[in-house]
Amino acid sequence: MRNQFQLLLGLFILFTLSPKFLNAQHSSKGMLSIAFNHYVDSLILNLDSTIYKNKFGQPFSISIFKYYIGNVHLKKSNGKEYVSSDYFLINEEEKNSKIIILKNIPQGEYTSVSFIIGVDSIHNCSGAQSGALDETNGMFWAWNSGYIFLKLEGKSSFSKSSGNNFEYHIGGFKFPENSIRTVSLKYEQPLLIENDKIALLNIKVNAAEILKNPTNIDFRILSTVTDNKNASIIADNYKDMFTIQK
């Protein structure tokens, strides 16, 4: 009996360590690299150095642009999904943050991607956290015990705020002032995830959308949003700022 057990154990070890088995173990998953490319309409976003115009023709520059991405879903045509529970802080000041890597994705053809802009209620109420959700990243309201989902700051001569500054710090996850927004994007051609390979996806992020559609923002009237008041107006604007680049 002992010899039979040792024989079976030996066959099991031989089989599981064989190149064919190891390749099978590693060949069922792939990775996806998503690059978030920041623009203001058709112009590449350059912090502080470029002057843009809003829907009212008011000139402005941008000094800070960062936001949270989370709950990424990749969907196949048959309805099956890959879901990432990770959160990512995309920050124009940190170039490396603008490329995120999703790992261990089952191979196959995916037809759409979706994610939230913001931080869900569970993570908003989970106390001190690390990584992208670390409070030292400057995206947490200590007074409000909640995350800032998106920050856009800059200057416009039309702003009546001190120093002609404008700032939009958007957050809030409780009804009726919930500023979490879901983005859903479909691929023109299926996205192929292959064995042990990294697929690439480029997403254009148009920061100008924060200031328009459905509400055009006039810097003379609304130059500051730093609490729940008016946050949903800005959130409804920025949910449309993502498109897939060819």
The span from the CA of 90 to the CA of 159, in Å, is 26
pLDDT attached to residue 17: 53
pLDDT attached to residue 121: 86
pLDDT tens, residue by residue, 209-230: 999 999 999 999 999 999 878 9
> What's the distance, Cα to Cα, between the start and end of the chain in Å?
63
The residue whose two tokens read 């099956």 is: 80
Mean pLDDT of 154-179: 93
SS3 call for 72? strand
pLDDT bucket at 88, cuts 50 / 70 / 90: very high
pLDDT bucket at 48, cuts 50 / 70 / 90: very high
The residue whose two tokens read 């809030």 is: 172
**Residues 6 or more apart whose Cβ sits within 8 Å of residue 181:** 116, 117, 118, 235, 236, 238, 239
How wide is the angle at C-alpha 216 spanned by C-alphas 213 and 219, nearest 5°? 145
Q: How far is CA 103 from CA 5, 130, 148, in A?
A: 37, 19, 26
pLDDT tens, residue by residue, 108-120: 999 999 999 999 9
Q: Is 90 exceeded by the pLDDT of residue 237?
A: yes
Q: Is 60 exceeded by the pLDDT of residue 8?
A: no
pLDDT bucket at 141, cuts 50 / 70 / 90: confident
Q: Give bridge partners of residue 87 from the DSSP assignment.
A: 70
The span from the CA of 30 to the CA of 200, in Å, is 11
pLDDT tens, residue by residue, 69-87: 999 999 998 999 999 999 9
pLDDT attached to residue 11: 43
Backbone phi and psi for residue 114, each to the nearest 5 degrees, phi listed first: -140, 155
Q: How far is CA 5 from CA 14, 21, 63, 241, in A?
A: 14, 21, 68, 62
Which position has the higher pLDDT, 241 or 24?
A: 241
pLDDT attached to residue 7: 45
Average pLDDT of the chain? 89
| Sequence spans of domains, the chain | 30-244
Half-sphere exposure of 44 toward its Cβ, with a 13 Å CA cutoff?
A: 3
Which position has the higher pLDDT, 238 or 173?
A: 238
pLDDT above 70: percentage of residues in the chain: 87
Q: Is 80 exceeded by the pLDDT of residue 205?
A: yes
pLDDT attached to residue 134: 92
Q: Is 50 exceeded by the pLDDT of residue 150?
A: yes
Half-sphere exposure of 101 toward its Cβ, with a 13 Å CA cutoff?
A: 7
The residue whose two tokens read 């979490």 is: 180
Mean pLDDT of 124-137: 84
